[in-house]
Copies of this chain bind each other. A is one copy, B any other.
Amino acid sequence: MTKPVGALKGADNNYHFTLWSPHADNVQVIIKGEEAARTMERDAYGYWHSNDGNGVTAGSKYKFLLNGEHKLPDPASMSQPDGVHEWSEVVDHDFDWTDENWQPAPLSDLIIYELHVGTFTEKGTFEAIIDRIDHLQALGINAIEIMPIAQFPGSRNWGYDGVYPFAAQNSYGGVSKLKMLVDKFHQAGIAVILDVVYNHMGPEGNYLSLFGPYFTEKYNTPWGAALNFDDSYSDHIRNFFLQNALMWLKEFHIDGLRLDAVHAIMDNGPVHLLKELSLKVDGLEKETGKPYILIAESDMNDVKVISDYSKGGYGLEAQWTDDFHHAVHTLITGELDGYYSDYGQIAHLAKSFKQGFIYDGIYSNFRNKLVGTDPSNNASHQFVVCIQNHDQVGNRMTGDRLPSIVSYEKLKLAAGTMLISPFVPMLFMGEEYGEDQPFQYFVHHGDPALVKAVQEGRSKEFDSFKWQGEVPDPQSENTFRNSKLNWDFKSQQEKDTLFKFYKYLIHLRKEGAFDLFKSQEIITEVMEDKKLLKIA
A interface with B by C-beta (< 8 Å): 1, 217-220, 230-235, 263, 266, 268-271, 300-302, 304, 307, 310-313, 361, 363, 367-373
Contact = CB atoms under 8 A, between A and B. Distances in A.
Contact of A312 (B217, B311, B367): B311
Contact of A270 (B219, B266, B304): B304
A372 B266 CA distance: 18
Q: How many copies does the complex hold?
A: 2
Given A268-B268, A270-B304, A304-B312, A370 B219 contact: no
A266 B361 CA distance: 19
Given A219-B219, A270-B372, A312-B313, 7 more contacts: A1-B363, A231-B369, A232-B369, A235-B369, A268-B268, A269-B370, A270-B300
Nearest to A312: B312
Contacts of A263: 268
Contacts of A300: 268-270
B363 A235 contact: yes
Contacts of A312: 304, 307, 311-313
A370 B232 CA distance: 9
A257 B321 CA distance: 39
A363 B369 CA distance: 38
Contacts of A232: 367-369
> Max chain B CB contacts within 10 Å: which of A311, A367, A369?
A369
Nearest to A307: B312
A419 to B, nearest CB: 30
Q: Is chain A's binding surface mostly helix, strand, loop or mixed?
A: loop
Contacts of A369: 230-235, 269
Contacts of A219: 218-220
Nearest to A230: B369
A314 to B, nearest CB: 10
23 contacts: A1-B370, A218-B219, A219-B219, A220-B220, A230-B369, A231-B369, A233-B369, A235-B370, A263-B268, A268-B268, A268-B300, A269-B300, A269-B369, A269-B370, A270-B302, A270-B304, A270-B361, A270-B370, A271-B373, A307-B312, A311-B311, A311-B312, A312-B312
A110 to B, nearest CB: 26
Contacts of A271: 373
Contacts of A270: 300-302, 304, 361, 370-373
Contacts of A220: 217-220
9 A-B pairs closest in CB distance: A312-B312, A232-B368, A270-B373, A270-B302, A233-B368, A234-B369, A235-B369, A235-B370, A311-B312
A218 B368 CA distance: 16
A218 B222 CA distance: 9
A302 to B, nearest CB: 5
Contacts of A313: 312
Nearest to A213: B368
Nearest to A303: B270
Nearest to A217: B220
A366 to B, nearest CB: 9
A301 B271 CA distance: 12
Contacts of A371: 270
Contacts of A370: 1, 235, 269-270
A281 B311 CA distance: 22
A310 B270 CA distance: 17
Nearest to A368: B232
Contact of A311 (B310, B368, B373): B310
> Max chain B CB contacts within 10 Å: which of A217, A270, A370, A372?
A270
A372 B218 CA distance: 19
Contacts of A217: 220
Contacts of A373: 270-271
A300 B270 CA distance: 7
